[in-house]
Structure 1
């Protein structure tokens, strides 16, 4: 069951809690609590559905859609990266997605999905740098209702009683996103809009965007932001974008800081986001000005200003000519013929047949 840990990427430090383990003996020197490195927990998922082999999200979390009455199994690696032998507890517990936040329940709080999950080894004793394989089984009842459910399969370790009066509890887990229902899988989808630039009080340029989950599954979004066509042809990025977990039908307002010394612009901002294999992008022209500050129109707007100004001038000249003509008729009682002088077009020799 156990073998040496081969891959440093297996390490996944997560939630740490501190609990009192009793007061120290009178006169005993204080014992420092163990460090996070000594209480590290490594977890990783080994399996993904055949239909999701190209979905990077399905290699990180258990993401699946099944019919009622289905049983699925997944292998999870639990590793001990600490220099000490440790005991680990492995168990499922509840989780929820509320608007734009993934929330885990305290301790071993259960929900419907976690009650469907069992593990073949709920306690492990691992030597330093050792790892073990745990099989997690999810049995969906025949009468399960349609919908997506959330849970976490945790691996947890705690400090030993002789570590001191304060014991640290550290756990890391694999998220479970399980959709239940007949037929095909509900769609993943989202939109990106309202892209704009602003600045924080300390001068940091920030790109903002509105993301809406328009699909029927929760999303874990990340991606990149690139800035091009800036002042003097400058380009910046790509900048890494980390977005929250987004519930079905929920909206989040992204904020991507891009530095204090970035020129105001304008820039062409290209925002690319993905949740698994669902990818979307949006592009907009933005300026990073502080809130309430209006920037002069860019070069692309000058033609509009010139056109409006030219039309206003022409209307004024025409009104003056008409007024002058009417005044002359009243004074002389003679008809006055107005002639408009227009520029003579260039002589076209190619069309002159004479």
Structure 2
């Protein structure tokens, strides 16, 4: 019985798949870009997807991206650096031409590519930090962009690789964060949700990923961890909310909840006992109202018919 309950809970707690690791603004019309020169000993998924480097003032760093054409047509691809920032728990990118320091320090060897269907091209990327640059972290992206010239309106699509460049001398800064207490609530749609406030206490930006595990529920039910839907990006000194939505049919609890979060080498977890509020009844609207009361109406009609038949029989008997 407990085994069946555990399987049921696993189904109830099925999470939403994690988002794309790349800084993609919109579907790239069959164009792809990825970091190509990832050392084999790099274990962090973050550093395998993004350019994460510390560079001293006056120094430079070289990396390589791979641009690919996955469409069925020959494409002309523009490759260029762009600006980015971190706001509201998200890595936000700027429109082309709205540059920052990092975009100005970054250059690509090939600014325009002509790629046949299925073709790939390695593009070296150079970031040169001026000698008078102030310490601190900067954000940007290397973009691969295509323009659809066949449609009536101009459509531009681009995909990119994020840049996290920390300017400073000495040892590599150590990222860190703290997690505030867990909270259980419901969304406006009635879905149970677990939230926590995460504060970036280190000198580098964080891309927080992780999962929630619920155990010790009603009847001893437990389930596999449910992942965050997408990474939450937090700038140094800032805080952001981490939230994981679960399915509506999840029992209210109580549950033994453990939230495990990490970004690169920084990892923390927090545990708490959570009970979700009861879901509010969903009001019946419009034409569905009659359908909702149909069983009651049928019962009332049957009762009324029975009473009418009984009355008619009694009247018939009284005439005899």
SS in structure 1 of the partner of residue 71 of structure 2: coil
Q: Of the candidates 269, 272, 281, which is equivalent to residue 260 of structure 2?
A: 272
Residue pairs, 1:273-292, within 5 angstroms? 273-290=261-278
CA contact (8 A) 2:23 2:160 kept: no
CA contact (8 A) 2:23 2:141 kept: no
Distance 1:191 1:49 in 2: 29
Give the structure 1 partner of residue 31 of structure 2: 41
Residue pairs, 1:73-92, within 5 angstroms? 73-92=62-81
Give the structure 2 partner of residue 120 of structure 1: 109
Unaligned runs of 5+ in 2: 1-19, 281-320
1:78-117: per-residue Cα shift (whole Å, max 9, x none)?
A: 0111111000000001111125222111113211111111
Q: Of the candidates 186, 204, 207, which is equivalent to residue 191 of structure 2?
A: 204
SS in structure 2 of the partner of residue 92 of structure 1: strand
SS in structure 2 of the partner of residue 166 of structure 1: coil
Residue pairs, 1:1-354, within 5 angstroms? 14-16=24-26, 39-48=29-38, 53-160=42-149, 163-241=150-228, 242-290=230-278
TM, length-normalised to structure 2? 0.76
Distance 2:100 2:23 in 1: 24
1:122-149: per-residue Cα shift (whole Å, max 9, x none)?
A: 0000011111000001111112111111
Distance 1:49 1:180 in 2: 22
Query: How many pairs were matched up?
Result: 260
Distance 1:200 1:57 in 2: 30
Q: Which has the higher contact order (CA 8 A, sep 6+)?
A: 2
Distance 1:230 1:70 in 2: 55
TM, length-normalised to structure 1? 0.69
> Which contiguous aligned blocks of 4+ residues in structure 1 show a shift greater than 6 angstroms?
10-13
Distance 1:12 1:54 in 2: 17
Distance 1:203 1:154 in 2: 39
SS in structure 1 of the partner of residue 224 of structure 2: strand
Give, in angstroms, the shift of residue 192 of structure 1: 1.2
CA contact (8 A) 1:213 1:249 kept: yes
Distance 1:179 1:55 in 2: 17
Give the structure 2 partner of residue 295 of structure 1: none
Note the aligned Cα RMSD (angstroms): 2.2
CA contact (8 A) 1:12 1:41 kept: no
CA contact (8 A) 1:116 1:138 kept: yes
Give, in angstroms, the shift of residue 13 of structure 1: 8.7
Give, in angstroms, the shift of residue 285 of structure 1: 0.6
Give the structure 1 partner of residue 3 of structure 2: none
Unaligned runs of 5+ in 1: 1-9, 17-35, 293-354
Q: Measured at CA, do residues 191 and 211 of structure 1 come closer, stay the same or move farther in structure 2, by a change above 3 Å? A: same
